[in-house]
Amino acid sequence: MKKVGTPEYNLQDKLKYHLSALSTAAKQVALPLNITTHYPRERRRWPDCFRGYILFDPERCISCFQCSFICPANAIWMKEAPSNRYYPTLDYGKCIFCHFCVDSCPGGALKPTKIHDVAYRTMEEMLTLTEEMVEPPEIIREDKVFVDYVIDTEDLSLKRTKGRDNLIVEIAPSQGVPMVSQCVDRASCIACKVCEKVCESGAVSSIKDEERLIVKMAIDAEKCTGCGLCVKECSMQILRLVRK
């Protein structure tokens, strides 16, 4: 067995190590090396995929209800607008910031932001109406510096830059997997034309042939955006989205 003994230092070594310790302490007093940011005076620069406050672009919404269906926290409630169209409202009292809604929106109408610090006075206020989702919320910003975490081979350090990070991200809306609607049980179609009525892209057509007593139904794959509205509304539940 080998015994580990106390290291033997001579006076010179002892002096050297003491001085080094003192200088480190002095350095930390003067220029502390911590890994926390001084929020709210400075802000960490989050990546564009940060899941924060959600903005809404009514121009891109096709009222497909996809977001409200997918929300696991039931935070999205579709509300009728004066135009008779339904648009999402978002209750931040319930939202768990999973951004499933953002990912599910076929039109890219829901947009992520890096805003994570909105304060509310009441629970009621947290129910954000459609019109309030269009513009970023009012937040008080005291930050004058943004911070990046830099990882070099050994150490994690903070890099501070003067200025303000833009919290609104400019990323192209998700394209998703291109899908197209198709009828999987044609013999069960009743030619109610609900699909044609709900399709926003004019992809479904129906032509009545009075003489032969038939209705010719067609889905134009070129025009179909794969939004899935017809699939949801088909009264016989015979339409499916398939990969384009």
Partner 1 sequence: MLHANIKTGEEVIHMATPAEEELGESKWEVKVPEKKLKDKLFFENLKAVVIDTNLCSRCLTCVSICPSGLIVTDEDIVGFPDFEKNCFDCGACVRVCPRFIYEPPSGLGNYIEIVAAKSKRFKGQDGAMATELIASAIDMGMIDQGLFVDRNEKWETSIFHVRYPEQVGVGTLGGTKYVFAGILPALKEAIRFTKKGVGVVGTPCMISGIRKLQQEFPVFKEKVKLVVGLFCTENFHYNDLMKFLRDEKGIEIEKILKTNISKGSMYVTVAGAEKKRKIKMAEFEERGLVAKGCDFCTDFTAVQSDASVGSVGSEAGFSTIIVRNENAKEVMAFIREKGTAEFGEKVVMDEIDYLIKFKKKREEHIKELKLPE
* Cβ 66 to ligand SF4 shortest distance, Å: 11
Q: Which residue has the tokens 């947009």?
A: 111
Tell me if the bond preceding 136 is cis, omega within 30° of 0: no
47 with 116: CB under 8 angstroms? no
183 binds ligand SF4 (CB under 6 A): yes
Angle, CA 228 vertex, CA 224 and CA 229 arms, to 5°: 100
Angle, CA 120 vertex, CA 47 and CA 123 arms, to 5°: 115
Residues in the interface with ligand SF4 (CB under 6 A) total 28
164 binds partner 1 (CB under 8 A): no
Find the binder of partner 1 among 192, 201, 225, 232 (CB under 8 A).
192
Find the binder of ligand SF4 among 143, 192, 205, 240 (CB under 6 A).
192
Q: How far apart are CA 30 and CA 231, in angstroms?
A: 65
Instruction: Please state, in angstroms and as integers, the Cα–Cα distance from residue 199 to each residue in 7, 24, 137, following that order.
Output: 82, 69, 33
**Quick one: what does residue 88 bind among ligand SF4, partner 1, none, with the CB cut-off 5 to 8 Å set by partner type?**
none
Chain-centroid distance, C-alpha 68? 14
102 binds ligand SF4 (CB under 6 A): no
Find the binder of partner 1 among 116, 165, 194, 232 (CB under 8 A).
194
* Cβ 148 to ligand SF4 shortest distance, Å: 42
Q: Which of 46, 227, 28 is nearest to 148 (CA)?
A: 46
* Cβ 73 to ligand SF4 shortest distance, Å: 26
**Quick one: what does residue 201 bind among partner 1, ligand SF4, none, with the CB cut-off 5 to 8 Å set by partner type?**
ligand SF4
115 binds partner 1 (CB under 8 A): no
73 with 54: CB under 8 angstroms? no
Binding site for ligand SF4 (CB under 6 A): 181, 183, 189-195, 198-199, 201, 203-204, 217, 219, 224-230, 234-236, 238-239
Binding site for partner 1 (CB under 8 A): 180-194, 208, 213-222, 235-238, 240, 242-244
